[in-house]
Structure 1
Amino acid sequence: MSAKEAVVTELHKPARVHYRRRRVIIKGINDLFQADLIEMIPYAKQNGGNKYILAVIDCFSKYAWAEPVKSKSAEEVTQAMEKILSTSKRIPRNLQTDNGKEFYNASFKKLMKKYQINHYSTFSQIKSAIVERFNRTIKSMMYRLFSLNGNYNYTKHLRDLINTYNNTVHRTIGMKPSEVDSGNEAFLLKNIYSSVGERRDKQRFNVGDYVRISKQKTVFAKGYTPNWSTEIFKITSVRKTIPYTYLLEDVNKQPIQGAFYAEELQKTKYKD
């Protein structure tokens, strides 16, 4: 096989999408909140022009909040987040979101500083999984409501829907989110959140290895397009997370944001 044929083979090698990822380590109530916007654009006219819902969840207790917003603007999202923080009187130590502009702007940064919240994002295509599961749950509840009422108005029912969710037993914790408090926090930490998993993977790459990055195409992407980057990257650090993750730099020695799983990388012999 010629070098050119070998490179083409690398580019079109199947890329895995489903694989084991790092667990979210949660230390207790108000340790980590996740936030996300639920898109409701088709129903804006029936809901006072609100195109989105800001969803926030305490990852430990699964207790959630939601506020409708008219746009993804920095001002709208920041005001909605402040309303949730001030009315709930619960301030997280950490807040995880995606890296969208609605969360990364001067207004939101000022809010995080005001409440001394450590705001961060992951750079994987896999977003904040806990809040996204909540999003699916609350949207399912809304669509049942739409069918029952024969219209698409949700804003006047949103508080009741969230209250129903918070007072329904959550499978992960075995109790209602509203029941989680300082009295049972230690029990949950010991019995639900204590296991961080055992190492079952092997270190597949070393510092100095040259790799391609998986494109992780969406389901609508053409199956015959290359699955891997034509650009080559170098591994600069191996993190002993469970599973292992890897830090990269490009050919100009500029670090690449985020850490990568082994399944997102393919070693190459052709670094030029």
Structure 2
Amino acid sequence: GIEFMSPFPSSRGNKYILVAVDYLSKWVEAKVLPTNDARVVCKFLKSLFARFGAPRAIISDRGTHFCNDQFAKVMRKYGVTHRLSTAYHPQTSGQVKVSNRGLKRILERTIGQNRASWSGKLDDALWAFRTTYKTPIGCTPYKLVYEKACHLPIELEHKAYWALKQTNFNLYVAGNHRKIQLNELNELRDHAFENSLI
């Protein structure tokens, strides 16, 4: 699902946050923007499609920034179905609304009293949101997307030392270990998909 978060006080010329949420993994992508027109929406979606691939469908509200020829052309080009939510049926875009509330709450806590600094704190808020445990999927969105927990730099330094110390450079063993990891990732994704159907 995709939606604009607004209104915000102007911060470095930006007034809007465009939020996209993957309903299965609960992964959130967001970008601060000065305007909320079709051009910025299409540019944002093209960058997402280049990084993650095109989804089967996108759910949005009936705003003019989503219901126009330019947006429809991008959807046709990438083979994406555009579904519209109705005004009095919030369940259609409920996941986006829940994510927006969570992201906004994290942003409010991050910026403190300096309300004009929100645009510079979005990346920190996204990191916090992506690394927070989500009950419906049974893990963090980060773990589901990248197959590993997100570690702080000090944790990485400690783990890297022990990994180097214990590494066995046997390619056969390393290959088998990688196959097991890939199978575990597939099982994790299947589990998250099954949980999302409940």
- Partner Cα separation in structure 2 for residue 100 and residue 194 of structure 1: 28
CA distance in 1: counterparts of 2:59 and 2:100, whole angstroms: 15
Letter in 2 for 1:115: Y
Corresponding letter in the other structure for 2:191: F
Residue of structure 2 in register with 1:38 after alignment: 5
Q: Is the 8 A contact 2:58 2:82 kept in 1?
A: yes
> What is the Cα deviation at residue 113 of structure 1?
1.5
Q: Which runs of 5+ in 1 are unaligned?
A: 1-33, 196-272
2:52 matches 1:89: yes
Answer 1 or 2: which has greater helix percent. Answer: 2
How many angstroms apart in 1 are the aligned matches of 2:43 and 2:193? 33
Q: TM-score, normalised by structure 1?
A: 0.53
Letter in 2 for 1:39: S
Q: Could you tell me the percent identity over the aligned residues?
A: 23
Partner SS, residue 116 of structure 2: coil
Aligned runs of 1:37-186 on 2, under 5 Å?
Answer: 37-41=4-8, 43-44=9-10, 47-86=11-50, 88-127=51-90, 128-147=93-112, 150-181=114-145, 182-183=185-186, 184-186=188-190
Find the aligned partners of 2:197 and 2:12 in 1 and give their Cα distance: 44
Deviating above 6 A after TM superposition, structure 1's stretches of 4 or more consecutive aligned residues are: none
Larger radius of gyration: 1
AA of the residue aligned to 1:189: F
Q: CA deviation at 1:110?
A: 1.4
State the alpha-carbon separation in 2 of the partners of residues 84 and 68 from structure 1.
15
8 A Cα contact 2:132 2:141, kept in partner: yes
Q: Secondary structure at the match of 2:120?
A: coil
**Quick check: 1:69–1:77 contact (8 Å CA) kept in 2?**
no
- Is the Cα contact below 8 Å between 2:111 and 2:121 reproduced in 1? no
Distance 2:88 2:140 in 1: 30
- Of Structure 1 and Structure 2, which has the larger fraction of its residues in strand? 1
Cα distance in 1 between the residues matched to 2:53 and 2:68: 23
Provide the C-alpha distance between the structure 2 equivalents of 1:101 and 1:83, rounded to a whole number of angstroms: 21
Matched residue SS, 1:193:
helix
| TM-score, structure 2 normalization | 0.72
Letter of the 1:50 partner, please give it. Answer: N
Runs of 5+ unmatched residues, structure 2: 146-184
Q: CA RMSD in A?
A: 1.8
Rate the CA distance shift 1:140–1:194 in 2: closer, same or farther, 3 A: closer
Question: What one-letter code is carried by the residue in structure 2 that aligns with 1:59?
Answer: Y
Contact 1:54/1:81 (<8 A) preserved: no
Q: Distance in 2 between matches of 1:123 and 1:150?
A: 36
